Amino acid sequence: MKNKLIILSSCFLSLMLMFSCKENNKESDEETLEVTAQSDTDFRPAFHFTPEENWMNDPNGMFFLNGTYHLFFQYYPEGNTWGPMHWGHATSKDMIKWEEQPIALEPDEQGYIFSGSAVVDTENTSGFGDGETPPVIAMFTYHDPKGEEEGREDYQTQAIAYSLDEGKTFTKYEGNPVIENPGIRDFRDPKITRDNVHDQWIMVLSADDQTMFYTSQNLKDWELASEFGRGIGAHGGVWECPDFIQMKVEDSDEKKWVLIQSLNPGGYNGGSGTQYFVGDFDGKTFTLDESMQDLDEDHPYWLDFGKDNYAGVTWANIPEEDGRHLFIGWMSNWQYANEVPTETWRSAMTIARELKLTKTEDTYRVISSPVSELEDYKGEEFTKNNIEVEGETQIVASEEIDLANAVLSFEIENLKQQEYHFSLSNDGGDILKFGYDHKAEEFYIDRSNSGLTDFNENFGDKVSKAPRLSKTSNLKVKAIIDNMSIELFFDNGETVMTEIFFPEQPLSTFSAEGKNFSINNLKINQVKLN
C-alpha cells in the first residue's frame, strides 16, 4: 500500500503559496484516490473530532452557551484538500463527543471566510440583540482571492457576523469590513476576548510576524491600541491565529495575561507550531514579563512541542463557576496537511485541553492536560505495578487490552538511567517510539517507522525533540492514543508533544527498552464514545 501512495505536491507555507499548493493537489486528487478505502476507515479517530467528509483546518469561533460547547472550523466542503474556506460547525455537551452541524459561514463576493473567533455578547454591547437571545458575534478574516491574484497587498480584511439563534445561523454585518487592511499582506485571524478589568473588548490579530491589539466598546468599531512581537520569540514564519487570555497563577492570587501565538513555518520541530508569551496588559499595551526578556528563536515557551498541534485557541464565555481555560488545536502541520493518507475526510482536532498557568521561582509556564470530561468515557481498564525493564521488554499486548484508543499513564521514580524508551507497535513492523534522554533532558517522538510516512518528505524524516522543563526526579507520562494520533503529556503537562501517524494496522503492543528501570502505576483505559 505504501507504494500506491504517490502524492506529488509539496505545500509551501505562506497563504499565497497555499493557493498554488491547492492547485497542485487538485491535479493529484485522482492519484490520492488510489489509497484504499480501508485506510480511511482505519485511520479515522475514534474520539477526536473530524468532519464527516472533506477538508478541515483551524478551530474557529469557539464559545459556550446554555450548556453547549460550539466549535467552528476552517472547512472546504467540496474537497479533501484546502480550498475556498467556509466555517464548518460542531456542537458538544462535553468537548469530547461532537455532533456536526450545517455550515455556518460561506464565502461571498468579499472573499473566503478565514479563521476568527466568536463571543456571546451577553450585554448586547453590539446592539444586534433582539432583547431575547443574547447575540453571538463572530469575527473573521475575509480573504479576497481576486485581490490576491491581482498582486494587491490589502486582500485580507476583518469582518463580523451575528447570530440570534445561538450560533446555528449567522447574518453578515452590512458594514463589513469593520477593519480595512493597512497594506499588510498577512493580516488575519481576529480573536476577541472580554476584558472586564478595563471594561472593553480586546481583539488580537496577526499581522505579518507581529500581533496587533485592538479595542472596542461595541464589537463593530475597533481601534488599534498597540503592537507586539518585534524581535521577541520565534519568527521563522508568518504569525497566525493569536489568542489573548488573562490567567490566574496556580496556588496564588496573581494574574497574568498570556498571548498564544501560532506561527508557520518556524515551529519547534519544523513547520507549524504554537508559542506563548506571559506578561501584563494595561488596557492598551501588552508588556512581556521580565522573566521572558531577551526571548530568542530557541526559547522553551511552546504550548506543544510535537509537530501536530496548530492554530489552537481557547473557548469564550466559559462560566465563571467553571473558570477553566479550555483549548483545542488542529492536529496537523502545513508541511504535509494536504497530503496525509486519508481519503474522504482530512484532519482531526486535538483532544480538548485545560490550560493552567504555573510559576516556579520566577518562571511562568502554561501547562496542559486533557479535559477531565474525557474520564467519562473510560472503557476497560488494565493496571500493573513495578514492571522491571531490562533490555527490550514487552509490557502489554492487545490480548490483554486494546491499545488503539486508550489513555495510557505510568510513572518512573528516581530517574537515574541515561535513556528511557517506549514504543507502540504492531505485527506488521510499524513502530511509534517515544522516550526520554535523561542526560540531554530531552523527550522525543520518533514516527519514522510508524506506517505510511512517504507521502511527504517532512513527515517521517526527523525525530521530534522537546526539552524537559520539570526539575522533579520522578517522571510522569500520560498518553492519549487514538487510531492516528498520540498526545503525550509529560510531567503533568509541563512538556506536551502531539503527533499523528498512519500505521498499516492498529498499534497493539506497548513495550519499553532501557537498562534496569521500573515502570510504576501503569494504567491503561480504553476510550469508548458509545
What element of type H or E holds 421?
Answer: strand 419-425
Q: How far apart are alpha carbons 35 and 465 in whole angstroms?
A: 31
Q: Does 141 participate in binding ligand FRU (rule CB under 6 A)?
A: yes
Residue 316 or 403 having the CB closest to ligand FRU: 316
Closest CA to 351 of 47, 16, 10, 4: 47
**In the set 115, 211, 246, 483, which binds ligand FRU (CB under 6 A)?**
115
Residue 262 or 509 having the CB closest to ligand FRU: 262
Binding pattern for the stretch 296-335 against ligand FRU, x by CB under 6 A and - elsewhere: ---------------x------------------------
CA atoms within 13 A of residue 218's CA, in its CB half-sphere: 7
How far from the centroid of its chain's Cα atoms is residue 261's Cα? 11
Q: Does 144 participate in binding ligand FRU (rule CB under 6 A)?
A: no
| 58 is an active site residue | yes
Residue 62 or 475 having the CB closest to ligand FRU: 62
Residue 246 or 335 having the CB closest to ligand FRU: 335
Residue 99 one-letter amino acid: E
Q: How far apart are alpha carbons 229 and 241 in whole angstroms?
A: 14
Query: Minimum distance from CB of 170 to ligand FRU (Å)?
Result: 17
Give Cβ neighbours of residue 344 (< 8 Å, ≥ 6 apart).
37, 40, 53, 54, 80
What DSSP string runs through 452-520?
Answer: --TTSTTTSSS-EEEE-----SSEEEEEEEETTEEEEEEGGGTEEEEEE---SS---EEEEEEEEEEEE
Q: Does 158 participate in binding ligand FRU (rule CB under 6 A)?
A: no
Query: Minimum distance from CB of 164 to ligand FRU (Å)?
Result: 26
Q: How far apart are alpha carbons 287 and 303 in whole angstroms?
A: 20
What DSSP string runs through 156-172?
Answer: EEEEEEEESSTTSS-EE
Query: Minimum distance from CB of 311 to ligand FRU (Å)?
Result: 4
Query: Minimum distance from CB of 137 to ligand FRU (Å)?
Result: 18
Site for ligand FRU in 221-280 (CB under 6 A): 240-241
**Total residues in contact with ligand FRU, by rule CB under 6 A:** 13
Using DSSP bridges, classify how beta strands 345-346 and 54-65 pair: parallel, antiparallel or unpaired: parallel
Active-site residue, selected from the candidate residues 29, 40, 42, 58: 58
Query: Minimum distance from CB of 290 to ligand FRU (Å)?
Result: 31
Residue 311 or 396 having the CB closest to ligand FRU: 311
Give Cβ neighbours of residue 195 (< 8 Å, ≥ 6 apart).
201, 202, 215, 246, 281, 283
Burial of 527 (0-12, 13-18, 19+ CB in 10 A): buried
Residue 222 or 489 having the CB closest to ligand FRU: 222
* Partners of 113 in beta bridges: 142
**In the set 22, 188, 194, 220, which binds ligand FRU (CB under 6 A)?**
188
Residue 456 one-letter amino acid: N
Q: How far apart are alpha carbons 463 and 460 in whole angstroms?
A: 8
Q: Does 189 participate in binding ligand FRU (rule CB under 6 A)?
A: yes
Residue with cell 485571524: 189
The pair phi, psi for residue 161, each rounded to 5°, is -145, 155
Q: Does 114 participate in binding ligand FRU (rule CB under 6 A)?
A: yes
Secondary structure of 447-471 in HEC code, one letter for each residue: EEECCCCCCCCCCCCCCEEEECCCC
Residue 48 or 188 having the CB closest to ligand FRU: 188
Query: Minimum distance from CB of 428 to ligand FRU (Å)?
Result: 33
**In the set 85, 204, 258, 475, which binds ligand FRU (CB under 6 A)?**
85
Residue 115 or 211 having the CB closest to ligand FRU: 115
Q: What is the DSSP letter of 135?
A: P
Residue 57 or 216 having the CB closest to ligand FRU: 57
How far from the centroid of its chain's Cα atoms is residue 61's Cα? 14
Query: Minimum distance from CB of 112 to ligand FRU (Å)?
Result: 8
Query: Minimum distance from CB of 29 to ligand FRU (Å)?
Result: 18
Site for ligand FRU in 3-22 (CB under 6 A): 15
**In the set 24, 32, 50, 57, which binds ligand FRU (CB under 6 A)?**
57
CA atoms within 13 A of residue 233's CA, in its CB half-sphere: 29
Query: Minimum distance from CB of 136 to ligand FRU (Å)?
Result: 20
45 three-state secondary structure = coil
Contacting residues toward ligand FRU, per CB under 6 A: 15, 57-58, 74, 85, 114-115, 141, 188-189, 240-241, 311
Catalytically active residues, by annotation: 58
